């Protein structure tokens, strides 16, 4: 577990045993006929978190979100929000608001009327509705568009109206279904920071559903990686990225070079792993309890590997020889695809620290190269 120095315990309430979870999801299952969309999951979310449910399509993340909103009821298990069991509470009485993936703006109402809709339903006084809608439109910078209808707005503007509409009621929890999905890259990054700012200002608990791992990494305090209706791993972005617990997580978040092999031996907390097709066993630091002969996978992130045209002097490094098959140039960095043997290809990301010399950065196509990484760089996985 990593605790970065600037993070106090109040930033990480899930580490504090005194802290009470704000949302408790206990043994929740949802079946549609024979299909199990969500498979007895347990999850505690704390006040003020920006929690991401991350997974591919059909993993059950949206179903879970819809159960929290009240549009679906769990087949079994219970959902508790702020100490209240939500079992028989209809959506219109829950202290949550949702921002829909399609935004679901009312097409026959103006921006202003859309934002005011929820307040009117609560019977808020006219004057107060006005001030609150004004403040909200000011915050999302749409005050000038208040009389427009949704079809007269751009995608980014619609998204901000949807956000304003779901925030104006001061919900205890804001649910966001792929909030940035329909935006282009530049707008997405901008909105991401806006969302984080808003969350910080208002202290609302956010639950974001997304399939975009980058979005989840930058936005959230914690991520739950979902697959086939259950959680593969729950943790901070750093934990998920640097300490994946399974091959699925290692593969789904970022990319990873995966070596399949068997434990050959131990030396303290460094294990050596025999991998078929490699002349020498790979060394890897680990915390898992490993037995000799056990099948394991070693995952190494592309940016944690070094690439050179000469063999490495340092014998503590893992070192593999291969040839450059492909180079992807991204400007700030380049990705090299290295062919080690007919059945093994590795991906290495290398920052372009200087401008190219003789038309190349580190290595050229078909050149023989050496790949190296320290034993602390890889993660040993048992599932």
Partner 1 sequence: MVERLQASWKLLVVLVPYIWLLIFFLAPFFMVLKISLAELRIASPPFTPMFGTDEAGATIIRLLFDNFRYLWEDSLYLNTYLNSLKISTSSTILCLLIGYPIAYAIVRSTPTVRNILLLLIILPFWTSFLLRVYAWMGLLADQGTINDLLIWLGIVDSPVRMLYTEFAVYVGIVYTYLPFMILPLYANMEKLDISLLEAASDLGARPVTTFLTVVLPLTVPGIVAGSLLVFIPATGEYVIPDLLGGGNVLMIGRVLYNEFNANTDWPVASAVAIVLLLLLVLPMMLYQHFQSKAAG
Q: Write down the least CB distance from residue 115 to partner 1, Å.
A: 10
For 236-256, b where at least 16 C-beta lie within 10 A, e where not — what string? bbebbbebbbbbbbbebbbeb
Q: Binding of partner 1 at residue 118 (CB under 8 A)?
A: yes
Applying the rule CB under 8 A, the residues between 122 and 181 that interact with partner 1 are: 122, 165-166, 169
Q: How far is CA 304 from CA 54, 278, 374, in A?
A: 24, 19, 8
Contact 38, 72 (CB under 8 A): no
Nearer to partner 1, 70 or 281 (CB): 70
Q: Write down the least CB distance from residue 69 to partner 1, Å.
A: 6
Contact 275, 297 (CB under 8 A): no
Closest CA to 334 of 309, 355, 310: 355
Q: Write down the least CB distance from residue 223 to partner 1, Å.
A: 24
Sheet holding 230-235: strands in order across?
Answer: 96-99, 173-177, 205-210, 50-54, 222-227, 230-235
Alpha helices, DSSP H, located in 37-108:
61-69
Q: Binding of partner 1 at residue 33 (CB under 8 A)?
A: no
Nearer to partner 1, 140 or 338 (CB): 140
At residue 156, φ and ψ (nearest 5 deg) are -65, -35
Q: Write down the least CB distance from residue 253 to partner 1, Å.
A: 29
Nearer to partner 1, 165 or 247 (CB): 165
Applying the rule CB under 8 A, the residues between 92 and 111 that interact with partner 1 are: 92-93, 96-98, 100, 102, 104-108
Which positions ≥6 away from 80 have C-beta within 8 Å?
23, 24, 26, 86
Element of type H or E holding 242: helix 237-242
Q: Write down the least CB distance from residue 148 to partner 1, Å.
A: 15
Nearer to partner 1, 71 or 329 (CB): 71
Contact 22, 173 (CB under 8 A): yes
Nearer to partner 1, 173 or 271 (CB): 173
Q: Binding of partner 1 at residue 318 (CB under 8 A)?
A: no
Give the angle 301-305-307 at the CA atoms, nearest 5°.
145
Nearer to partner 1, 122 or 358 (CB): 122
Site string for partner 1, 246-275 (x = CB under 8 A): ------------------------------
Nearer to partner 1, 121 or 266 (CB): 121
Residue in the structure block whose two tokens are 């890259």: 185
Give the angle 345-351-353 at the CA atoms, nearest 5°.
140
Nearer to partner 1, 105 or 183 (CB): 105
Q: Give the one residue of 29, 89, 110, 117 binding partner 1; rule: CB under 8 A.
A: 117
Q: Binding of partner 1 at residue 351 (CB under 8 A)?
A: no
Nearer to partner 1, 88 or 93 (CB): 93
Q: Give the one residue of 71, 329, 330, 365 binding partner 1; rule: CB under 8 A.
A: 71
Q: Write down the least CB distance from residue 110 to partner 1, Å.
A: 13
- Using the contact rule CB under 8 A, the part of the chain among 88-96, 249-257, 323-331, 372-380 near partner 1 is 88-96
- The number of residues that bind partner 1 (CB under 8 A) is 24
Q: Write down the least CB distance from residue 188 to partner 1, Å.
A: 21
Q: Quick one: 115 exposed, middle or buried, by C-beta within 10 A (0-12, 13-18, 19+)?
A: buried
Q: Binding of partner 1 at residue 91 (CB under 8 A)?
A: yes
Going by their DSSP bridges, the two strands 282-285 and 270-275 should be labelled as antiparallel
Contact residues toward partner 1 (CB under 8 A) are 69-71, 90-93, 96-98, 100, 102, 104-108, 117-118, 121-122, 165-166, 169
């Amino acid at each position: 577990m990593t605790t970065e120095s600037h993070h106090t315990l109040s930033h990480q309430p899930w580490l504090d045993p005194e802290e009470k979870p704000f949302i408790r999801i206990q043994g929740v299952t949802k079946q549609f006929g024979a299909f199990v969309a969500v498979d007895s999951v347990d999850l505690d979310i704390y006040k003020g978190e920006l929690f991401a449910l991350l997974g591919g399509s059909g993993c059950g993340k949206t179903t879970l979100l819809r159960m929290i909103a009240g549009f679906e009821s769990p087949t079994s298990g219970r959902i508790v929000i702020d100490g209240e069991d939500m079992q028989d509470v209809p959506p219109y009485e829950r202290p949550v608001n949702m921002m829909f993936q399609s935004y679901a703006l009312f097409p026959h109402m103006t921006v202003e009327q859309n934002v005011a809709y929820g307040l009117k339903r609560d019977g808020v006084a006219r004057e107060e509705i006005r001030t609150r809608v004004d403040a909200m439109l000011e915050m999302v910078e749409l005050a000038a568009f208040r009389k427009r209808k949704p079809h007269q707005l751009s995608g980014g503007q619609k998204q901000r109206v949807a956000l304003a509409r779901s925030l104006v009621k001061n919900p205890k929890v804001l649910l966001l279904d792929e909030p940035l999905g329909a935006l282009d890259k530049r707008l997405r990054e901008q909105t991401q920071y806006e969302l984080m700012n808003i969350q910080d200002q208002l202290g609302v608990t956010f639950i974001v559903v997304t399939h975009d791992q980058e979005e989840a990494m930058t936005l959230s305090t914690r991520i739950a990686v979902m697959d086939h209706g259950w959680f593969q791993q729950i943790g901070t972005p750093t934990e998920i990225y640097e300490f994946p617990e399974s091959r699925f997580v290692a593969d789904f978040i970022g990319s990873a070079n995966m070596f399949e092999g068997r434990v050959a031996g131990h030396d303290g907390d460094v294990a050596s792993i025999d991998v078929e097709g490699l002349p020498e066993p790979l060394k890897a630091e680990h915390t898992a309890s490993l037995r000799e002969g056990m099948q394991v996978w070693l995952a190494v992130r592309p940016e944690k590997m070094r690439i050179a045209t000469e063999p490495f002097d340092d014998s503590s490094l893992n070192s593999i020889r291969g040839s450059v098959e492909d180079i992807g140039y991204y400007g700030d960095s380049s990705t090299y695809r290295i062919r080690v043997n007919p059945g093994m290809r590795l991906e290495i990301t290398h920052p372009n620290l200087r401008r190219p010399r003789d038309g190349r950065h580190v290595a050229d196509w078909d050149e023989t190269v050496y790949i190296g990484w320290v034993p602390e760089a890889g993660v040993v996985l048992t599932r």
